[in-house]
Amino acid sequence: MAVAFDEMNQPDGSLRQAYQELSLWLNDTPPDALEYRRKEAELLFRRIGITFAVYGEAEAQERLIPFDVIPRIISARDWAVLEAGLKQRVKALNLFLSDIYHGRDILRAGTIPEDLIYQNPVFRPEMNGQDVPHDIYVHIAGIDIVRVDPEKFYVLEDNARTPSGVSYMLENREIMMRLFPDLFARHRVAPVENYTDELLAALRSVAPATASAEPNIALLTPGIYNSAYYEHSFLADKLGIELVEGRDLLVRDEQVFMRTTEGLKRVDVIYRRLDDDFLDPLAFRPDSMLGVPGLMTAYTAGNVTLANAVGTGISDDKAVYSYMPEIVKFYLDEEPILNNVPTYRCRQADDLKYVLDNLHDLVVKEVHGSGGYGMLIGPSATKEMIASFRDRLKAQPDNFIAQPTLALSTCPIATEQGLAPRHVDLRPFVLTGREHTTIVPGGLTRVALKEGSLVVNSSQGGGTKDTWVLDE
């Protein structure tokens, strides 16, 4: 694996432009002050109750995501490229979804194999021919970006279902501003706090035509045991909308209502943080206790808008991901601004052969997996792990894709021994409403805290950082 691109230091040891001021500040700041601030931050997080649950760990039901106090800094120039690339990508995702559930030009053109769509469990036949307001499917996208060199950003994953993490983007900034006012005074950092206003505007703009001028918007959560519950309550609060669970809602005459102390109240837009499978036990999983019976009838009648739409999973599926460059070209007739990570489709015989021959060099992912579960990281895997993965791969090749192990860029984190580089990724959040697409400058930077580790997922020992986009 090549030496990773470091976002702060050039290979010759000199500083990159965006980090100049930070470095000066660090020189003036004793290391134990950083440690002291880190502890203070942790206390604040704990008190605010920003925790997440790790599934399958009875003991540590609520844990803090470790927070690193050194900001990750992105120059205005780099951000401009990212922003254009993200907008292009999300536009293509929406066009693709509209096409897949309507005319299917892209299948007829042979750009994507039909069975990849039709036999995909996240494809929702219920959405066939179903119109959604303003043809927007993905209102909120969290696109995972990694960087490998000064010029290249790769999209690692498109999260187009119920992406989470934005509360960390917002809270990390709040806490950094509280802990390091002097550091902020020395930079011009683009603000992120307008995210919730932008989100609210986007949600309002897609209210059904039958809604009143003041549409009633609610955030649907699976409940307090969900790993992202904190975020749900945080967002509902900032948006000033009700945080509802399935049992708070009911469907009558193809309309959705919420139970209030003053009786039933109509709901027009649901920002749902519940997966398709659980939305409506009458339409999807009958054993779901989290959803709302009949929700799909209200949805297909056009009386309620769901954000994101039902069936968006087909656009961020890892097998479909590998076709994203073609998808961008097909709908927009443009070259993709952001690259895909080169991806081997194990469903194709020659790709599968290559993957099997090179398992020790590759990252192999389950097509429908997420959160870093069910993947093989070849270079750090034992012989036994590789052998057992080989069997799984042979048994169900369609279920996997493989990618080269990327040398993710590194940023400094504060350790007890001083600053040390660690691998990072970035999840910016892309909002699409009727009028426009917006991206607040920043995102969630996840960092693999273990030296050399490439796994940034919070469920597997990753931490977060505040992400600064400089406003030059």
Partner 1 sequence: MLSRTAENLYWLARYVERAEYLARTIDATLRATALPSAYVGKSNEWESAIYTAGVADGFFGKHEQADERSVVDYLAFATDNPSSIRNCIEIARLNSRSVRTALTVEMWDTINGAWIELQQVWVNAPRTRDNLSRFLRFVQETSLRFDGSAYRTMLRNDAYWFSRLGLHLERADNTARILDVKYHMLLPEDEHIGGPLDYYQWTSILRSVSALTAYHWVYRETLKPWLIADLLILNNSLPRSLASCYDNLVRNLDQIGVAYGRQGPAQRHARGVRNRLEHSKMDDIFQHGLHEFIEELIADNSRLGDIIAKQYLI
The residues binding partner 1 (CB under 8 A) are 46-47, 49, 223-224, 229, 233-234, 236-237, 242-245, 247-248, 258-262
Strands 269-272 and 217-220 come out as parallel
- Which amino acid makes up residue 147? R
CB of 247 to partner 1, least distance (A): 7
Cα gap 24→32, rounded to integer Å: 17
Comparing CA positions, the residue from 359, 358, 441, 379 lying closest to residue 76 is: 441
Helices (H), 134-272: 166-179, 181-185, 195-205, 229-239
CB of 216 to partner 1, least distance (A): 12
Cβ pair 281, 291 in contact under 8 A: yes
Residue 186 or residue 247: which is nearer to partner 1 going by CB? 247
Q: Which is nearer to partner 1, 33 or 43 (CB)?
A: 43
Say how far apart CA 215 and CA 204 lie, in whole Å: 7
Tell me how far apart the alpha carbons of residues 80 and 189 are, in angstroms, rounded to a whole number.
14
What does the DSSP 8-state code read for residue 126? G
| Least spacing, CB of residue 224 vs partner 1, in Å | 5
Q: How far is the CB of 248 from partner 1 (least distance, A)?
A: 5
The residue among 55 and 225 lying less far from partner 1, judged by its C-beta, is 225
Burial class (CB in 10 A: 0-12, 13-18, 19+), 277: middle
Specify the DSSP element, H or E, that contains 327: helix 324-332
DSSP 8-state secondary structure symbol assigned to residue 63: B
Least Å from the CB of residue 237 to partner 1: 4
Rounded to the nearest 10 degrees, what angle do helices 166-179 and 31-48 cross at?
A: 130
C-beta of 261: minimal distance to partner 1 in Å? 5
Q: Mention every residue, 6+ apart, whose C-beta is less than 8 A from residue 46.
A: 64
As a whole number of angstroms, the distance between CA 39 and CA 50 comes to: 15
**By C-beta, is 137 or 229 nearer to partner 1?**
229
Question: Nearest approach, Cβ of 223 to partner 1 (angstroms)?
Answer: 8
Contacts of 232 (CB under 8 A, 6+ apart): 219, 221, 226, 243, 273
Query: Based on CB atoms, which residue is closest to partner 1, 47 or 383?
Result: 47
Instruction: Say if residues 295 and 279 touch (Cβ distance below 8 Å).
Output: yes
Beta carbon nearer to partner 1, 221 or 438: 221
Q: CB of residue 233 vs partner 1: minimum separation in angstroms?
A: 4
Instruction: Specify the residue for token string 């069997």.
Output: 391
User: Measured from the CB atom, is 262 or 333 closer to partner 1?
Assistant: 262
Q: Between residues 126 and 174, which has the closer beta carbon with respect to partner 1?
A: 174
In this structure, the number of other CB atoms found within 10 A of the CB of residue 177 comes to 15
Those residues whose C-beta lies under 8 Å from the C-beta of residue 355, and which sit 6 or more positions away, are 344, 346, 362, 364, 393, 400, 402
The residue (of 14 and 261) whose beta carbon lies closer to partner 1 is 261
Residue placing its CB nearer to partner 1 in the complex, 56 or 263: 263
The CA distance from 455 to 445, in Å, is 13
CB nearer to partner 1: give 223 or 372. 223
* Closest approach of partner 1 to the CB of residue 230, in Å: 8
Percentage helix, strand, coil for the chain under 3-state DSSP, each rounded to 5 = 35, 25, 40
Q: In angstroms, what is the minimal distance from the CB of 51 to partner 1?
A: 10
Please state the closest distance from residue 225 (CB atom) to partner 1, in A: 10
